[in-house]
Structure 1
Amino acid sequence: MQKLNDFLSILDSYIGGGQWFVFLLLGTGLFFTIYLVFPQIRFFKYAIKMVKGKFDREGDEGDTSHFQALTTALSGTVGTGNIAGVALAVHLGGPAALFWMLVTALIGMTTKFVEVTLSHKHREKAEDGTIAGGPMYYMKKRLNIKLPSGKWLNFGKWMAIIFAVATVFSSFGTGSLPQINSISNSLWETFSIPHMLTGAVLAVLLAFVIVGGIKRIAKVTQTLVPVMAIIYFLGAFLVIIYNYENIWPSMVAIFADLFTGSSATGGFLGASVAFAFNRGVNRGLFSNEAGQGSAPIAHAAARAHEPVSEGMVALLEPFIDTIIICMLTGMTLLASGVWQEKHENLFQMADLAVVEGLYDDGIESDRQSLGAHVNGKKSLPLFTGNLKVTEGQITDEISIIHARSLAENVFLIQGNMPWTGEVPVVRGRMSPPEGVRVFGESLIHSAPLTTIAFSRSWLGEYGKYIVSIGLLLFAFSTAISWSYYGERAMIYLFGMNSVIWYKLVYVVGFFVASFVDTSIVWVFSGITIALMTIPNLIGILILHREVKSEVKSFWKEYAERFPDEKAPKY
């Protein structure tokens, strides 16, 4: 598992973790923001009218209403990214990462408007009579290139295939694996429910819902999304108000370290400007999926005769998902102070490194050395050899870094008893014998961190239940929606007969991910997100003129139907 995690981490550093990917994502959104003259601001009030059905026409073709399409797409985006993903971003980049998440969302509103508009315009009917849409369809139809010789190069066809294959993998990397992994971790943290039991029960429920197709999915998500939002909002506000004295310092911290990097504080060893920027944008994308091309698959099923009207509905998603919900999560983490505190936890080997010598993060020189190591500036010498353990205590002069912090009070147990023996370590990687677990105090991240934050209010330990219930609803609804995205991609690639096999593998993968290493799941997720996003961004950039033409056509019809309203001009 450690070797797999190392390989995936290297791959992710060149793809989704590379700075070029971040600039492609934000650059595309900025281009369309300027090209279409800030549609995320000018179209906002009209977007709300579209959700209410103002522009609908009798006989509009589709499988779902605007509201159902919005809630289905939101259920696909509002998930672990809002609870675990925000906590991971703050853990990695500090408070400054939240700023970049918000910037990503604001720009992403335009990106999502564009990708949904194009995908809705070029949707088709599947063999079973349902609507099939998504970036692969506009790519297939509009991205072929005419050569000087007069022949056509099937560029769009291959782009569509690459995107569809990436969508299938991303349905696991985004919709299945990290969702159930976060659910099972949270339920274990709160109720001590075994990971495997959680995975088994929810896998059965998942199978029941996704067998019913888009109409059953839409009915489930339009109920789940409002319920889960209300529960989560109440819990978050209680934490923020309870820690009211930290509200202003927390908001200042988000902006204070933008150009200097997040400074070291508590157990947090600091983060560079570039790292906070990269992680904030990366987690922002995971949360709202703007530019990824996933939401257009859900919106393609909406009843609408004008693609731009559905593009406006989609424009609301990053605002609700990231600007409102993610910011709420971020403020609970900062106001409660848990993001910089060390907590006792079960160490995951993929998050752990053994370095030679004894370090103390209370000593400034040691703190700087540790910070340089975790931020990749200057590595400390890694330990190789056998660690001697007596009655659960490591006797060698080494230090353990876990979750980007210096671990304290480390002990090893087998069953419920302290363990004695030797642990082989190769280049800092520990390989305990079967059944031996490593515990200690360190920073934590993902869902467990948000769970602890919610206990810092008048509700006390009961606050953890809100995260567990909220995460259960958030993440489960995401897994439902992503099964539909993967299903549509399978239909595009292999036809209707492939769907049953896809659903079977999806449910099995969902179960297995409930008890595998969290770090590996998140790294795999980052890779699959990038593999979907890159061809989609290239595609919408190529078709920028078509988008503007559709926008002009929409406002012309809108002005004719509602002459008393003052609409934006193009």
Structure 2
Amino acid sequence: MGKLDYVKILDQVDSFVWGPPLLLLLVGTGIWLTLRLKLIQLTRLPMALKLIFRAKNDGTGDISSIGALCTALAATVGTGNIVGVATAVGTGGPGAIFWMWMAAFFGMATKYAEGLLAVKYRTIDKNGQVSGGPMYYIERGLGRKYRPLAIMFAASGVLVAFFGIGTFPQVNAIVDTCKLSLGIPVYITAAVVTVLVALVTIGGLKSISRVATKIVPFMAVFYVLSCIYILVTFADKLPDAVNLIITSAFSGTAAAGGFLGASIMLAIRSGVARGVFSNESGLGSAPIAAAAAKTKWPAEQGLISMTGTFIDTIIICTMTGLSLVVTGVWTGEAKGAAMTNDAFLAAIPGFGPVILTVGLVLFAFTTILGWNYYGERCCEYLFGVKSIKAYRVIFIGLVATGAFLKLEAIWLLADIVNGLMALPNLIALLGLTGVIISETNRYMDHVKAQQTKNHSEPA
């Protein structure tokens, strides 16, 4: 009975934190920035995608622009893309996928603003490392009197790293999928993951960035190609699946098979909350990595950061969601990773679960690495560079224990601390909109001047 009460209490807190006010603030901030930036996520997306490969990396920073993007993607492309999408569809029905798209579309403008402000207000710590993120743009942008908000953000960031996205859901997903599809005992997987995390994270940001830049592009392409194979296999079901996603977003989903039905509000809440959990737009986590990029232009890194949400949700989450709907597994009894596992099994008998296991393990492992860095920067802001060693030891200890906790409680805990992190960040984005606009205009004028200069130079 005690366990049930514990989950029930967490569920009530989660419903309060992720109630209409925070969802409205998250999506509302995205809509506000979209309008003020004149649909930047549409008009400048081709330019942003080119910048991933063409950014000059000529400013002060610790890592390249693509290294910063890969570190941010390492943290965002994780179990949210596989388990989280399945949880959203299992709770809110296929309509949740549509609301995930909406949250991601407006979230791209939010992510742009976060990346821009991170570079604009970054600083150097006593170890000579770049430090940046919402705690710095709150304090240095809004002013010292807003420092309590910066402390709230940094404290929530450490909690998310320790008890939210950073450890438990990822480790849980890794051990579950290894046991489910490969039959590896939980304690063996937990031990291997802990040792690997320790080896990489002790080397700090450059070590994490190196690993992320190698693993992230490979794992994203590998997973997307696997999902495309599923969609080709069930190509006849694809038009109906897309139709179901769009219609049930506005009419709710009737009960089907093991699925109990869902209202429109449940579809919206599941889609937006899981979308944010996956792409982290508005949470303020990605700008911590963006701040370390070698760039002179805040807006340039903002554009590169914006592509993170596009890759994470518009591409990868969509692939998972469509795979769950075309195979029909969303109406079954399976939940979370087991549901996605069933989709892969339906399309690729024998090899499907192994492919999913490889994808999930890589996704979750890199998320642990990315969040280790985020939490470390938040800890450094609160307690100074001397706290970094203790932080790393605690983080590694939590990774080791994360495998032995109840799934439902883990997702609820992760959701709650995410919400507490988003609030101060969103207040800062709204308060610093003027700075975001002026920096954007300054960069676009520079780009125009460069283009004019290149056209006028003789060939």
Which of 424, 429, 432 aligns to 1:540? It is 429
Q: Confirm whether residue 258 of structure 1 aligns to residue 259 of structure 2.
A: no
Pairing 1:102-251 to 2, within 5 Å after superposition: 102-144=101-143, 154-172=144-162, 173-251=164-242
Query: Following TM superposition, by how much is the alpha carbon of 1:452 offset from its aligned partner in structure 2, in angstroms?
Result: 1.4
Q: Where does structure 1 differ by over 3 angstroms across 4 or more consecutive aligned residues?
A: none
Per-residue Cα deviation, 1:130-173 (whole angstroms, up to 9, x for no partner)? 111100001111223xxxxxxxxx43211110000000001130
Query: Following TM superposition, by how much is the alpha carbon of 1:562 offset from its aligned partner in structure 2, in angstroms?
Result: 2.3
Structure-2 separation of matches of 1:139 and 1:230: 36
Q: Which has the larger Rg?
A: 1
Pairing 1:313-392 to 2, within 5 Å after superposition: 313-341=304-332
Which of 339, 354, 365 aligns to 1:465? It is 354
Structure-1 separation of matches of 2:450 and 2:247: 49
Q: Secondary structure at the match of 2:54?
A: coil
When residues 565 and 317 of structure 1 are mapped into structure 2, their CA distance, relative to the original with a 3 A threshold, is farther
Structure-2 separation of matches of 1:90 and 1:37: 32
Match of 2:396 in 1: 507
* Contact 2:57–2:65, Cα closer than 8 Å, also in 1: no
Gaps of 5+ in 1: 145-153, 342-442
When residues 565 and 84 of structure 1 are mapped into structure 2, their CA distance, relative to the original with a 3 A threshold, is farther
TM-score normalised by the chain length of structure 1: 0.78
Per-residue Cα deviation, 1:251-296 (whole angstroms, up to 9, x for no partner)? 1100112222111111111000000001100000001000100000
Per-residue Cα deviation, 1:323-372 (whole angstroms, up to 9, x for no partner)? 0000000011011111112xxxxxxxxxxxxxxxxxxxxxxxxxxxxxxx
Q: Which amino acid in the other structure matches residue 169 of structure 1? A: L
Q: Confirm whether residue 527 of structure 1 aligns to residue 416 of structure 2.
A: yes
Q: Secondary structure at the match of 1:103?
A: helix
Q: Confirm whether residue 474 of structure 1 aligns to residue 363 of structure 2.
A: yes
Q: Secondary structure at the match of 2:166?
A: helix
Pairing 1:21-40 to 2, within 5 Å after superposition: 21-40=22-41
When residues 500 and 57 of structure 1 are mapped into structure 2, their CA distance, relative to the original with a 3 A threshold, is closer
Match of 2:337 in 1: 447
Structure-2 separation of matches of 1:257 and 1:294: 31
Per-residue Cα deviation, 1:48-96 (whole angstroms, up to 9, x for no partner)? 2322234x264x1011111111111111100001000000000000000
Structure-1 separation of matches of 2:148 and 2:407: 33
Match of 1:281 in 2: 272
When residues 19 and 142 of structure 1 are mapped into structure 2, their CA distance, relative to the original with a 3 A threshold, is same
Identity of aligned residues (%): 38
Q: Which amino acid in the other structure matches residue 160 of structure 1? A: A
Query: Following TM superposition, by how much is the alpha carbon of 1:116 offset from its aligned partner in structure 2, in angstroms?
Result: 1.2
Deviates more, 1:476-485 or 1:252-261: 252-261
* Contact 1:184–1:198, Cα closer than 8 Å, also in 2: yes
TM-score normalised by the chain length of structure 2: 0.96
* Contact 1:117–1:547, Cα closer than 8 Å, also in 2: yes
Query: Following TM superposition, by how much is the alpha carbon of 1:564 offset from its aligned partner in structure 2, in angstroms?
Result: 5.7
Query: Following TM superposition, by how much is the alpha carbon of 1:478 offset from its aligned partner in structure 2, in angstroms?
Result: 0.4
Q: Which amino acid in the other structure matches residue 28 of structure 1? A: T
Q: Secondary structure at the match of 1:547?
A: helix
When residues 230 and 46 of structure 1 are mapped into structure 2, their CA distance, relative to the original with a 3 A threshold, is closer
Q: Secondary structure at the match of 1:259?
A: helix
Per-residue Cα deviation, 1:194-222 (whole angstroms, up to 9, x for no partner)? 22221111011000000001101111000
Query: Following TM superposition, by how much is the alpha carbon of 1:560 offset from its aligned partner in structure 2, in angstroms?
Result: 2.2
How many equivalent pairs are there? Answer: 452
Q: Which amino acid in the other structure matches residue 454 of structure 1? A: F
Query: Following TM superposition, by how much is the alpha carbon of 1:510 offset from its aligned partner in structure 2, in angstroms?
Result: 1.1
* Contact 1:184–1:515, Cα closer than 8 Å, also in 2: no
Match of 1:88 in 2: 87
Query: Following TM superposition, by how much is the alpha carbon of 1:565 offset from its aligned partner in structure 2, in angstroms?
Result: 7.6
Q: Confirm whether residue 4 of structure 1 aligns to residue 2 of structure 2.
A: no
* Contact 2:132–2:292, Cα closer than 8 Å, also in 1: yes
Q: Which amino acid in the other structure matches residue 516 of structure 1? A: L
Which of 10, 15, 19 aligns to 1:13? It is 15
Match of 2:43 in 1: 42
* Contact 2:116–2:299, Cα closer than 8 Å, also in 1: yes
Structure-2 separation of matches of 1:57 and 1:230: 25
Per-residue Cα deviation, 1:24-66 (whole angstroms, up to 9, x for no partner)? 1000000010011000011112212322234x264x1011111
Structure-2 separation of matches of 1:138 and 1:512: 34
Q: Which amino acid in the other structure matches residue 435 of structure 2? A: E
Structure-2 separation of matches of 1:252 and 1:479: 36
